[in-house]
Amino acid sequence: MLKFLGINRNIRSIRRYLSIVRVLSRYGFDQVLEMLGLADVIVRSRRLFRPTVPDIAKLMAAERMRLVLEELGPTFIKLGQILSTRPDVIPRAFVLEFEKLQDNVPSFSFEEVQAQITGALGGPVEQFYAEIDPVPLAAASIAQVHRARLRTGEDVVIKVRRPGIVEVVESDISALMALAGLAERHMSGSELYDPVGIVREFARTIRREMDFSREGHTIEKFRDNFVKTPWMYFPRVYWEQSSRAILTMEYVAGVKVSDRERLLAQGLDVKLIARRGAGSFLEMVINHGFFHGDLHPGNVLILQDNVICLLDYGIVGRLDDELKTFLTDILSAVVNRDMDEVVSLLLFAGDISDSMDTRALKRDLFNFIDSSYEIPLKEIEVGRMLMEFIEIITLYNIRISPDLMMLTKSLVLIEGMGRALDPGFDMVEHLRPFVAKALRQKFSPLRISSDINKILFSYLNLARNIPRDLKEIINRINRNKFKIDLEHRGLDKFTAEFDRSINRLSISMILAATIIGSSIIMQTDKGPKVLDFPVFAFMGYIVAGIVGLWLVYAIIRSGRL
């Protein structure tokens, strides 16, 4: 069974897999487990013995799933947080519920912090730090942060990875991958959402987040990108005191961007901060194609002279030239109200279903654009408008790049911070010159020449490979080696149900044979007796009665009389 599921065959992974299934069942997701073909394996065998969750029937499915993620721990909380940025994958009710997920985990002891530092840096703590505050500044599911001072006197913060978190995450990923594989095999329509692909993307994201050396290099890349921007500040990374499990950074003292009253009290220009923040973020996206993916107010500090400092670089987004071109083209088409071009771009860039109603999609997009045109430019919330746009295309099962979804979420946060600082903040005003610049670059002679060269090179490769591929196909046909693989989705569930029916029929035949045999023995007057009945006949009736009652109970429990 475990080999069939594709789960790692170690005790931790097996135990975690069973734990996930048990928790899903406790919170009323038996129907989902049955769709995955797991009902008879786990749920029904434990139904009589599991504790029930109080008032579970009063909760909506999204609320119950949030409670499931919270109970399953850090990896699943992270998964929920990432899914909350994917309205193209999960329903809006789940998005709103998953946004409530927080890393409410206890801090680990200072002795464990010291052990982690010693193991990661290869020497005693005193060799690297003059002192460390034993009380953490913050504790999260993957790491916690402590203030410290280097032996050379610099004030720093140390990000220390939680002990054993890598093993826990890997076990959870293994179990999630097994469940995603079951979903692809058993659940109709799962190909639209690509559950295995989602788990793989999540695994890549959380593994990157647990590698603190990668985060350190990310900070330095942002610093290089903004080396000529004096109002953007990035903390220094101390590499001699850093590794994959430890990150030592410069301690930066500032005011949170959400504390508007304190910013004003210190004489800072909140309108200028809003303009600089929006401009810097758009520069990350349009010019660099590399942006901070977790820009909530807690990760933005304001320093003296209205300088902006960003924190926590574990999650970043990337836009290659193709995605940046798609973004500028879609914005241009929306502004020009060219719905044919919008639909064409969506069909080209997104994963779509064969049954999509393009006429209805155009109608809904026209209504969306018409309603937006009635709003004055300064009142348009670009982030919210993009979210509404994504909700529309999600209704038609069009999936787009996770990085574009992360960008939309970040844009909502940036625009929200800008309006909190300056009620008259206009994101459209900041966006217009960047889009105009991107369109000029797209139609520049150098870009057109580069695109033509790429197209010609692609066709040249295609023409070069066609004779070889045709020869290979013909050779395979001549050798009777030409094969076509067909995949039967949902056949595993049918096979399991068929096996179950055959087993019950076999048990029924054995039961009937036992009763008939016992009746024949009952007519004889040989062998030992109990209460004047032959012992073997008596035992046969007892066994037949027990097996018969068990079979009837199993049929009633299955709900298929």
CA distances from 197 to 89, 167, 181, 183, 395 (A): 12, 21, 10, 12, 20
Listed in order, strand segments (DSSP E) in 319-357 are none
Identify the three-state secondary structure at position 300.
strand
483 φ/ψ sector (left φ>0, alpha ψ -120 to 50, else beta): beta
Among 172, 294, 312, 329, the active-site one is 294
Sign of CA dihedral 540, 545, 550, 556: positive
What is the Cα–Cα distance from 91 to 83, expressed in whole angstroms? 10
CA distances from 506 to 225, 236, 510, 513, 537 (A): 72, 72, 6, 11, 21
DSSP state of 298: G
Return the amino acid letter for 92: R
Tokens representing residue 106 in the block: 């206890």
Tokens 């680990």 label which residue? Answer: 108
Return the amino acid letter for 90: I
Per the CB < 8 A criterion, the answer to whether 186 and 168 are in contact is: no
Identify the three-state secondary structure at position 154.
coil
Residue 271: exposed, middle, or buried by beta-carbon count in 10 A (0-12, 13-18, 19+)?
middle
294 is catalytic: yes
Tokens representing residue 337 in the block: 């109200």
Listed in order, strand segments (DSSP E) in 491-531 are 529-530
Residues 6+ apart with CB under 8 A from 366: 337, 339
What positions carry a catalytic annotation? 294
